[in-house]
Amino acid sequence: MLHVVFGAGQVGGAVAKGLLEAGHRVRIVRRRDAPVPDGAELCLGDARDPAFVKKASEGAAVIYHCMNPSAYTTKAWESEFPAMGEAMIAAALAHKARLVCLDNLYGYGIQSEKRRENSPMLAEGPKGKVRVAWDARLRGQAGLRFVVGRAGDFFGPGADQALFSPKMLQDLRAGKSVWLVGDPAAVHAFSFVPEVARSLVRLGTAENSVEGQVFHLPVIQLAPAELLAHLAKALGVPAHYHSLPGWVLRMFGPFGGLLGELSETAYQWDRPFLVDDQLFRGRFPGSPTVEEAARQTAAGLA
């Protein structure tokens, strides 16, 4: 059985490795040439090109969409993400393959309660609206065998683009004070990268009853300062940090740049950002604790 993984960044490479370890044939599709796990096939090309995506996924039983746009900008999200999505949908339909989609929580926007899979999609920012449109597109396509796994903010091995990145933890280990965003005491939904990858593999290899559903992948819910404390303990160092208030991000919104782009999601960090993940946990039990995740993160730090 062939599993085709589009994207080999923070999550895709780990998905491919997990599939290989389970004995599956794996093909990784990515933009640029780079090392892939031993045993995986590699195919290079542009995932926005429907003809290329169809050819690259030929023979697939399952297609994994783990790709993000090339830049964290509204322009890239609004132009690249729909193009990649349409190509993935067309390929999945052509090959009668299951389409497993990694998603985030942007589409929910500000909610007064825990985000559940059936919560309304209230996003007001442009990147959130891209995700809302993607959700509607998947649900509206007749004959599409899709399943969605939504994750929180990443931490752990491979989380190179996250707040709790390896670079941040290297600074922490070196005794430096690191930066947190928003209210460091507000409980937040974090996702451990290896568990995100394992969860996508579970969705890709599960029975057909998962199809047509959205699942919140397992999250670890605690304040950023608490997560930092767990990681610092695992590294054997004190947890020193500064905090960048959410209003600073909002102030930069009109001026563009990275801080301007981040202003759209400032609401996720200056108040509790909670997720109900019991639908997934009830079907696929056994996720690591924050202590286990912190130990693995520390052990994998270069």
Instruction: Work out the average pLDDT over 12-18.
Output: 96
Q: What pLDDT, in 10s, does the model give residues 158-169?
A: 899 899 999 999
pLDDT of residue 259: 57
Q: Are 245 and 206 in contact (CB under 8 A)?
A: no
Q: Which one-letter DSSP state was computed for residue 117? A: T
Q: What pLDDT, in 10s, does the model give residues 220-250?
A: 999 999 999 999 999 999 999 999 887 676 6
Instruction: Work out the average pLDDT over 118-139.
Output: 97
Return mean pLDDT, the chain. 94
pLDDT of residue 255: 45
Q: Which is more confidently placed, 40 or 256?
A: 40
Write down the domain spans for the chain.
Answer: 2-153+193-218
Sheet holding 188-192, edge to edge: 153-155, 188-192, 220-222
Q: Are 161 and 226 in contact (CB under 8 A)?
A: no
pLDDT of residue 83: 98
The Cα 167–Cα 178 span in angstroms is: 10
For residue 254, pLDDT over 60 is answered with no
The Cα 37–Cα 35 span in angstroms is: 7
Instruction: Work out the average pLDDT over 186-202.
Output: 98
Lowest average pLDDT, out of 95-109, 138-152, 208-222, 251-265, goes to 251-265
What share of the chain in percent tops pLDDT 90?
Answer: 87
Backbone angles phi and psi of 275, in degrees to 5: -135, 140
pLDDT of residue 248: 72
Of 66, 65, 44, residue with least CA distance to 55: 44
- Give the strand pairing for 41-44 and 153-155: unpaired
- Give the strand pairing for 213-216 and 241-244: unpaired
What share of the chain in percent tops pLDDT 70?
Answer: 95
Four-way CATH pick for 2-153+193-218: 3.40.50.300, 3.40.630.30, 3.40.640.10, 3.40.50.720: 3.40.50.720
The alpha carbon torsion through 189, 191, 195, 199 (nearest 10 deg) reads 70
pLDDT of residue 260: 59
**Does pTM top 0.85 for this prediction?**
yes
Q: What pLDDT, in 10s, does the model give residues 69-78?
A: 999 899 999 9
pLDDT of residue 156: 96
Banded pLDDT at 68 (limits 50, 70, 90): very high
Instruction: Work out the average pLDDT over 60-84.
Output: 95
pLDDT of residue 10: 87
Contacts of 211 (CB under 8 A, 6+ apart): 98, 145, 146, 147
Q: Which one-letter DSSP state was computed for residue 146? A: E
pLDDT of residue 9: 86
Instruction: Work out the average pLDDT over 272-289.
Output: 97
Tokens, residue 217? 């992948």
Of 225, 256, 235, residue with least CA distance to 299: 235
pLDDT of residue 258: 53
For residue 256, pLDDT over 60 is answered with no
Contacts of 118 (CB under 8 A, 6+ apart): none
